[in-house]
Amino acid sequence: MAASEAASVSVPRHVAIIMDGNGRWAAARGRPRAFGHRAGVEAVRRTVRAAGELGITHLTLFGFSTENWRRPAEEIDALFDLLRRFVDADLDRLESEGVRVRIIGRRDNLSPDLRAIVERAEARTASNEDFTLTIAFNYGSRDEIVRAARALAERVRQGEIAPEDIDAERFACHLDTVGLPDPDLVIRTSGERRTSNFLLWQSAYAEFVFLDVFWPDFSREHLEGALAEFAGRERRYGGVKLHGTA
C-alpha cells in the first residue's frame, strides 16, 4: 500500500483507533446492534485504505475487548462472524497490497475455527512490509500486562533471567505488540473520552483525539482532521521546550 506523495512529515507513523458507537448508530436507525457492526466493517475498509494513502504505516483497531464477553451471546456471535467474513472477503486484497495483518489479544478461549482464521491471516501476510494492520481482538490491556508479568516471572523461576534484568524494554518484549512501534496517535469515536483498557502501556506518550462521530460514519475526512490536530501538537515526551529553541 503506497503512501501518498503529498503525505506530510508530521503524519504519525502509528495510529490506533477505538472504534466505538456501532450499537448507538444502529439504534438511531431502529436497527439491531449487529447492523451497526456490519456498517462498522465498511468503515474499517475505508480507514485502512485512507491510512495507507495518507502515509501512515501502522494502524491498530480495537475490535473486541476481553470485557465484551459480557454482551449478549447473539451480539458476540455476530462480531465473531464479521471477523470470519472480513478475513474471507479481504485477505486476498490485503495480501496483494502489501498489508501485514496482525491479531493481538488472547487466543486460548477462542473457538478452533477462529484461531485458525487468525493464524491464516497472519501467516499469509507475514512477509508484507508496506503497511501493518493490527486488530485487537479478544484484547484487554490489563490482561496483556498480567500475561507479560507472568511470563517474566516464569523466566525468573526457571533461572533464565534475574529480577534485576527486568526493565521497560524487556517487559515490552513480552507484550502482544512486540515488534510494533508505540502508537503516536490514539483516536476514539462516538464522543466518549476514555481509553477503555486499550494499549495502556504502549500509549504512554501518545496523543489522543476524541471525535463526536459514531464509527460507521467515520470517513477519510475525519481521519485527516485527527491528523491535522496531531500535527499542531507539541510532543515533548516528558521534557520541556526551552524558550528560543525550535
67 annotated ligand binder: yes
- Give how far Cα 209 sits from Cα of 48, 52, 75, 212, 215, Å: 18, 19, 28, 10, 14
| Catalytic status, residue 138 | no
Determine if residue 69 is labeled as part of a ligand binding site: yes
Total count of residues recorded for the chain: 246
66 labelled ligand-binding? yes
* Residue tagged 479478544 (cell numbers): 138
Q: How far apart are CA 53 and CA 56, in angstroms?
A: 8
Residue 219 assigned ligand-binding role = no
Distance CA 125, CA 92 (A): 9
22 is in an annotated binding site: yes
Q: Assess whether 108 carries a catalytic annotation.
A: no
In the chain, DSSP assigns E strands to 14-18, 58-65, 99-104, 131-139, 185-188, 207-210
Q: Is 124 annotated as a binding residue?
A: no
The answer to whether the Cα torsion of 117, 118, 120, 125 is positive or negative is positive
63 carries a ligand binding annotation: no
Q: In what order do the strands lie in the sheet with 207-210?
A: 99-104, 131-139, 58-65, 14-18, 185-188, 207-210
| 21 marked among binding-site residues | yes
Q: Is 132 labelled a binding residue?
A: no
Please identify which of the residues 68, 81, 143, 197 carries the catalytic annotation: 68
Is 207 annotated as ligand-binding?
yes
* Cα angle 115, 117, 171; round to 5: 55
* Residue 222 annotated in ligand binding: no
Angstrom distance (rounded) from CA 83 to CA 86: 5
Q: Is 130 annotated as a binding residue?
A: no
Residue numbers belonging to the annotated binding site for Mg(2+):
20, 207
Q: Which residues are catalytic?
A: 20, 68
Residue numbers belonging to the annotated binding site for substrate:
21-25, 33, 37, 65-67, 69, 71, 188, 194-196
Residue numbers belonging to the annotated binding site:
20-25, 33, 37, 65-67, 69, 71, 188, 194-196, 207
